[in-house]
Amino acid sequence: MIRLANISKSFGRNQVLKGIHLTVKKGEVVAILGPSGSGKTTLLRCLNYLEKPNDGVITIDNFSVDCKKASKNDIHQLRQKTAMVFQQYNLFRHKTALENVMEGLLIVKKIPKEEARKISVELLEKVGLGEKLDAYPSQLSGGQQQRVGIARALALNPEVILFDEPTSALDPELVGEVLAVIRKIAKEGITMIIVTHEMTFAQDVASHVVFMDEGAIVEEGKPNELFNRPKEERTKQFLSRIR
Ligand code: ADP
């Protein structure tokens, strides 16, 4: 249901993505691994056009965008199908947890306020923040803020949730609570693509693992295969360095 064909991206002379091909089936949880600077975040950001790819075709749920001739409307439609969970949470500082989750429902989905409120309360309860509806981001821990970020993404009911290193800004003791929430929603069959350095988590939760290096996919497969029987030398080296 998601297909990336020949996605390429350069920043000036630096070619960061070198013709990426990737297919993600509905309900799949894909973990993207690889050394720092290999293009993982850029790939994720290209998928919802936070970065404009130089070339390639993005297809989500039968809607295709040819990056060489994408119109504003194409980009708008593509973005409607995705939601992003950011490293730095990116919450509105002057809005409460509840207002942060409601925002997308009111503005993007144009859902009436009372209904938006009801959905948002349910989602905040789901991520374990039923007691923090009226708290502002500054009154929440990093783990709690990220869980608001996840509730906000869920509220949009997207075809796919994109997680960009969702735990990398967190103190180690707060990582577990965020991974637990992602684990829980993964079980509900929501399609997810996760850039992560959490190898144990990737091994447990992902149904498919992609290893990137230098702007290309080096190897991909089932977590068991890729972690226990990597085929490519670069994958072996990467795994031996981090384990
Ligand atoms: P990863 O997520 O694997 O660490 P990134 O996608 O963040 O890698 O970055 C890949 C490369 O692209 C790096 O060399 C980085 O410096 C470069 N890059 C990323 N974003 C930008 C940008 N906005 N402008 C210029 N170069 C960038």
Closest C-alpha residue for ligand 1 atom 19: 42
**What distances in angstroms separate CA 82 from CA 48, 60, 79, 157, one per listed residue?**
7, 9, 5, 8
What are the tens digits of pLDDT across the range 96-137? 999 999 999 999 999 999 999 999 999 999 999 999 999 999
Mean pLDDT of the chain: 96
What are the tens digits of pLDDT across the range 133-164? 999 999 999 999 999 999 999 999 999 999 99
pLDDT interval class at 48 (50, 70, 90): very high
What are the tens digits of pLDDT across the range 176-190? 999 999 999 999 999
The pLDDT score that the predictor gives to residue 242 is 81
Question: 42 CA to middle of ligand 1, Å?
Answer: 6
Decide: 196 in ligand 1 pocket, CB within 6 A: no
Question: 39 CA to middle of ligand 1, Å?
Answer: 6
Beta carbons within 10 angstroms of residue 57's beta carbon: 16
This complex has an ipTM of 0.98
